Structure formats: C-alpha cells, structure tokens
Structure 1
C-alpha cells in the first residue's frame, strides 16, 4: 500500500481522536473516550506501518503533526466556534511550509 495513503489515514484518525477529546468531559463519557483511545491506537499503528515501509521518521512525524495541527485548527474554526486570527493563520502557514521543506529535502 502507498505510504501516503497510510499517512493520510493516520492523520484522519488522529484528528478524529483529537477532536473527540473535546467531548470526553475529562474521560467521563464512554463513547467519545473510547473513540479517542481507538483513534490514537490506530494512528500509531498506521505510523508504525509507514516507518516499516521505509519512510523516514522525521518526515512522517513532521507531516503527521503539521497536518493534524492544521486540520484540528480548521475544524475548530469551522465547526466548534473557535476563533482564528491572522497571527494564528501565519503560524499554520509557517508550520506547513516547514513540512514541505522537510519533504523536499528528504531522501526517498
């Protein structure tokens, strides 16, 4: 399987878990709490598969974390009533730019 497909899946389940944290009420609500645990477990399993396929750990983690940050911020802004200001947008652009540079400089 393509490492980028696995990475996209890992990012999607990690973002699902992170957004679900908002609804756990300190891990007192069973369903969102279970979703967080299953999502993070699945994300780390998928990342281990990606690493086994030979993608460098620094590149995997950079893409995974930056995409997760950007997506969670976007979901928070669009669906959870959280605010985004120009400084935050610039920060996201810088994080994503850094990941692109890591990917361009990586050996594949």
Structure 2
C-alpha cells in the first residue's frame, strides 16, 4: 500500500477505536454518544475513501478490524480497568500475525475496469475476463 493509503487507514483505525471507547464511556455519561456516532461515521467514510483510492478490501478491512480489536482491548484495560488476560494477548498477537500474512499474500494485480475488456472478450463476475464467441 502507498503511504497515503496507510495514512487514511490509520485515520480510520483511530476513528473506530475512539468511537468504540466513547461507546463504553457513554454507558456512564450519555454525552459520549455524539463522539461515538462521529467516530463510526468518520471510520466508514475513510474506509470508503480507501476503496476509492484503489486499496484492496481484504487488506484494508483486515488491518482495520484487527488493529481496532487490539487497540480497543489494550486501551479498555488501561482506561476502564477491563481485564486483559494472557490468552487475550495471545489472541491479539495471532490475529495480527494473520493480518500480516493476508497483507503480504496479496499481489498488486488489479482487476480490469468495467468496459476495458479486449475485443472479443467480456468482463465476467468479479472483473474476470471471459472469452465471447470462442
């Protein structure tokens, strides 16, 4: 992923984590619900922007979700005194390793854009080219 893509992705992760922590805080003080809503809207707008920038959903969503889970668990333990056990820490590590494997397993090949198929072929499901009349 390009640097700009990573910057937007980090913004989406931060927005989602802030929203989730604000949701927890809102249980005691309802004023936090506004930050919860703003954070989730921001996170999803940034995710949509990432897709528009050409980022792959498998990579983006994996990194976003796993990072969100890890950061939320760590910060909830620190801010709210929630339990963080060794099995939870191990689970966070395993998820993060899985995300790294998914990210490094992607190729940079992009599917053909709709309407850009070569003469004599058509674009089928998921942007795959299929031969027509052959």
The TM-score normalised by the length of structure 2 is: 0.75
Matched, 1:62 2:55: no
| Aligned pairs (5 A) from 1:71-90 | 71-90=71-90
**What secondary structure is seen at the aligned counterpart in 1 of 2:12?**
helix
**Structure 1 stretches of 5 or more lacking a match?**
none
Q: List structure 1 segments (4+ residues) > 3 angstroms apart after TM superposition.
A: none
C-alpha separation between the residues in 2 aligned to 1:107 and 1:52? 18
Out of 19, 22, 25, the residue aligned to residue 24 of structure 2 is 22
Greater fraction strand: 2
**What secondary structure is seen at the aligned counterpart in 2 of 1:107?**
coil
Report how far residue 84 of structure 1 moved. 1.2
Equivalent in the alignment of 1:105: 105
- Which of these two proteins has the greater Rg computed from alpha carbons? 2
C-alpha separation between the residues in 1 aligned to 2:27 and 2:84? 24
Greater fraction helix: 1
Matched, 1:12 2:14: yes
**Structure 2 stretches of 5 or more lacking a match?**
109-134
C-alpha separation between the residues in 2 aligned to 1:42 and 1:76? 21
- The superposition leaves residues 63-95 of structure 1 with CA deviations (integer Å, 9 ceiling, x where unpaired) of 000000000011012221111111111110110
Aligned length: 106
C-alpha separation between the residues in 1 aligned to 2:11 and 2:65? 13
Equivalent in the alignment of 1:38: 38
RCO higher in 1 or 2 (8 Å CA, sep ≥ 6)?
Answer: 1
